[in-house]
């Protein structure tokens, strides 16, 4: 278990601060993560990587010459927010375009894509290459749906080397795509990991058994088998990774060149890894494969998870040259870097000026007071239920939903209070709460709640009358925005299953003449009923999708948290109605 921490909610921030102080030769702290402390003499393409914290040396440990220019670092197992990604990109921009690369997880895709769209609107040539190396997360026929695990390293290293070599953005993107297409990984776990402050691991494996196909965020495995010997594990890895479906297109095993990466996920010791690798080397050699620059150690971890993954990068001449190119980062160093080509960077301005509050009406400020009271109540109900939300999420996901919702709602409540006392109208109050929720929570839920609050606020404005009809229309617009943003539909077993009946019922009741409080009561009940109904559903999106039937019989945590929030806000509306 994770033993050393102060406050669990501060763990990621304090870890990042300590990491930067210990590695100032390579990195500097910026809002949202880290950037290089040095720059090349000539402008280059910039590689910005990232994801949730808890995977060291991914992602900050891979920032330095020959690898990444910056890393956006979210909270524990939660993607960084779009604002954080933008901040790291701006601090890391070397003038020749930016390539974003990260594992294929829903929250990361949402936030990084939003940041990419913003940068493109400002004229920056920003592109993305997703890492999809995990063979157990989707079949080969749907490899674009696969998630990224330790194969992150091969894609990042190739792209970073290409940027250092002077490739243009087209070239860096091309070789990153090629590296991803030629990378395959498989992982196993003997125990799950325990987040700071948690009393139980995110998942458990029966004594003497081993989970196959785990995720690096504490997701349980796809299958379980008896724990094999070290040789038996090596044979399992090689058998699966050399299956006909998993050898990259156009490659034959006999005569191929492969970079093998045997990765410890947190608590498996190097000595154990070397025993496994000894047999892996024999088996790959027997298949006619030439092994290049083997890597054995920790490259992408999951806190204290007892687990191992094997990654194979099938190289051609160009990939081999880029893999072997010099790199100098806190956690990955190879070759000899020419320090004469580097200059120490001056002060980095990563500040984001907060816009002045626009003019607001008395009616809008009264609505802002209601929003502030509602978000304070939401903060309390989420805190009371965070453990249960995490338990639901851990059954088929990564177990961080409760933690993320707690971080997000706390930040949103504080931001709303500050905006309100500063004289903000309801739109500005909701907008600042949305940014705070998204930034602090990260992950899919952070992005979605940011969309909800911001969309509702945009429909209410800071100066126009705040009516029940406007609120209902705002929530319908938020529903539509969330579905467009995350691509979820009713029946996919997500929070959309609760959001849609809530918004639609509210709009129907308000249009029929009911008061906001009465309409909200019926809508909140519809949301709760729908959340309960997700229990029987099979997940079709997100991390739970890979675990199929494990999620059947358990309500979706996103739908449950939305229904809790809807019911809580109804209580606030009742109190305010009674006191008016």
DSSP string, 419-437: HHHTT--HHHHHHHHHHHH
Q: How far is CA 113 from CA 91, 120, 129, in A?
A: 18, 10, 11
Q: Domain limits of the chain?
A: 8-328, 362-579
Do 362-579 and 8-328 fall under one CATH topology? no
Contacts of 122 (CB under 8 A, 6+ apart): none
Phi then psi for 298, rounded to 5 degrees? -105, 120
pLDDT at 552: 83
Q: Is residue 497 within 8 Å of residue 534, measured between CB atoms?
A: yes
Q: Structure tokens of 148?
A: 């990224």
In this structure, whether the domain defined by 8-328 belongs to CATH 3.40.50.10440 is answered with yes
Tell me whether strands 223-226 and 209-212 are parallel, antiparallel or unpaired.
Answer: antiparallel
Which residue matches tokens 């320090």? 339
Cα–Cα distances in angstroms (integers) from residue 114 to residues 120, 455, 513, 534, in the given order:
10, 15, 38, 29
Give the containing element (helix H, strand E) for 99. Answer: strand 98-103
**45 vs 346: CA distance, rounded Å:** 19
- Mapped onto helix, strand or coil, the DSSP state of residue 242 is coil
Q: In 3D, which of 532, 534, 527, 569 has the Cα closest to residue 551?
A: 534
How far is residue 319 CA from its own chain's centroid? 27
Confidence at residue 117, expressed as pLDDT on a 0 to 100 scale: 96
305 and 267 Cβ atoms separated by less than 8 Å: yes
Q: Which CATH number fits domain 362-579: 3.40.50.300, 1.25.40.340, 2.40.30.260, 3.50.50.60?
A: 1.25.40.340
pLDDT value at position 123? 96
pLDDT (tens, 9 = 90+) of the chain, 580 residues, equals 678 889 887 888 999 999 999 999 999 999 999 999 998 888 999 999 999 999 999 999 999 999 999 999 998 888 999 999 999 999 999 999 999 999 999 889 989 999 999 999 999 999 999 999 999 999 999 999 999 999 999 999 999 999 999 999 999 999 999 999 999 999 999 998 888 887 788 788 899 999 998 788 777 788 899 999 999 999 999 999 999 999 999 999 999 999 999 999 999 999 999 999 999 999 999 999 999 999 999 999 999 999 999 999 999 999 999 999 999 999 999 998 776 556 667 666 555 556 689 999 999 999 999 999 999 999 999 999 998 998 888 776 667 788 889 989 999 999 999 999 999 999 999 999 999 999 888 788 898 999 999 999 999 999 999 999 999 999 999 999 999 988 899 999 999 999 999 999 999 999 999 999 999 999 999 999 999 999 999 887 654 455 456 668 899 999 999 999 999 999 999 999 887 5
Q: Is residue 217 flagged as an active site residue?
A: yes
Q: How far apart are CA 93 and CA 46, in angstroms?
A: 6
Q: What are residue 183's phi and psi, to 5 degrees?
A: -120, 130
What pTM was computed for the model?
Answer: 0.86
- Please state the separation of Cα 45 from the chain's center in Å: 24
pLDDT at 204: 85
Sign of CA dihedral 450, 455, 456, 460: positive
Determine which one of 65, 83, 111, 217 is catalytic.
217
Kindly state the tokens that stand for 112: 């990084």
pLDDT, one tens digit per residue, over 253-272 is 999 999 999 999 999 999 99
Q: In the prediction, which pLDDT does 86 show?
A: 96
What region, left, alpha or beta, does residue 242 occupy, with left being phi > 0 and alpha being psi -120 to 50 degrees? alpha
CA pair distance 184, 240, nearest whole angstrom: 10
Residue 505 · residue 463 · CB < 8 Å: no
pLDDT of residue 194: 86
Taking alpha carbons only, the member of 371, 367, 364, 368 closest to residue 462 is 364
């Amino acid at each position: 278990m994770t033993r050393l921490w102060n406050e669990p909610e501060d763990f990621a921030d304090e870890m990042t601060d300590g990491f930067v102080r210990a590695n100032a030769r390579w990195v500097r702290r910026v809002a949202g993560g880290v950037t290089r402390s040095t720059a090349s003499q000539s402008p280059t393409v910039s590689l910005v990587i990232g994801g949730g914290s808890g995977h060291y040396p991914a992602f900050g440990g891979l920032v330095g010459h020959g690898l990444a220019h910056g890393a956006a670092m979210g909270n524990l197992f939660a993607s960084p927010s779009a604002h954080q990604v933008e901040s790291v990109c701006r601090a890391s921009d070397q003038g020749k375009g930016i390539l974003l690369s990260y594992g294929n997880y829903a929250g990361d895709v949402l936030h990084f894509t939003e940041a990419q769209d913003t940068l493109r609107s400002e004229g920056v040539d920003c592109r993305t290459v997703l890492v999809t190396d995990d063979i157990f997360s989707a079949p080969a026929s749907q490899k674009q749906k696969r998630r990224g695990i330790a194969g992150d390293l091969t894609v990042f290293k190739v792209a970073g080397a290409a940027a250092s070599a002077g490739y243009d953005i087209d070239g860096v993107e091309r070789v990153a795509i090629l590296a991803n297409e030629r990378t395959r990984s498989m992982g196993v776990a003997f125990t799950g990991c325990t987040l700071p402050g948690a009393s139980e691991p995110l998942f458990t494996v029966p004594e003497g058994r081993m989970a196959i196909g785990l995720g690096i965020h504490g997701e349980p495995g796809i299958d379980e088998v008896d724990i094999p010997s070290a040789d038996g594990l090596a044979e399992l890895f090689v058998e699966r990774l050399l299956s006909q479906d998993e050898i990259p297109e156009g490659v034959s095993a006999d005569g191929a060149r492969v970079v093998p990466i045997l990765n410890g996920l947190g608590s498996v010791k190097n000595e154990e890894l070397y025993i496994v690798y000894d047999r892996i080397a024999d088996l790959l050699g027997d298949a006619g494969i030439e092994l290049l620059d083997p890597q054995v150690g920790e490259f992408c971890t999951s806190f204290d998870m007892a687990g191992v993954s094997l990654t194979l990068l099938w190289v051609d001449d160009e990939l081999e040259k880029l893999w072997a190119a010099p790199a100098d980062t806190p956690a990955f160093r190879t070759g000899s870097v020419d320090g004469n080509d580097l200059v120490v960077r001056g002060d980095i301005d990563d500040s984001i000026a907060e816009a002045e509050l626009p003019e607001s009406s008395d009616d809008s400020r009264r609505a802002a007071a209601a929003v502030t009271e509602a978000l304070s109540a939401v903060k309390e109900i989420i805190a009371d239920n965070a453990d249960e939300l995490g338990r639901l999420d851990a059954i088929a996901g990564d177990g961080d939903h409760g933690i993320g919702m707690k971080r997000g709602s706390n930040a949103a409540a504080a931001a709303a209070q500050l905006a309100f006392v500063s004289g903000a109208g309801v739109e500005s109050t909701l907008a600042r709460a949305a940014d705070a929720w998204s930034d602090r929570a990260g992950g899919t839920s952070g992005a979605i709640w940011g969309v909800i609050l911001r969309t509702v606020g945009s429909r209410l404005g800071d100066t126009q009358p705040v009516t029940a009809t406007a609120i209902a229309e705002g929530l319908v617009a938020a529903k539509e925005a969330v579905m467009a943003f995350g691509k979820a539909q009713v029946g996919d077993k997500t929070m959309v299953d609760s959001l849609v009946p809530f918004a639609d019922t509210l709009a129907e009741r308000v249009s029929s003449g009911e008061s906001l409080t009465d309409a909200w009561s019926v809508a909140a009940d519809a949301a709760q009923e729908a959340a309960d109904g997700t229990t029987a559903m099979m997940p079709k999106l997100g991390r739970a999708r890979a675990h199929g039937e494990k999620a059947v019989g358990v309500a979706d945590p996103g739908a449950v948290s939305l229904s809790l929030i809807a019911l809580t806000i109804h209580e606030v509306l009742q109190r305010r109605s009674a006191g008016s």
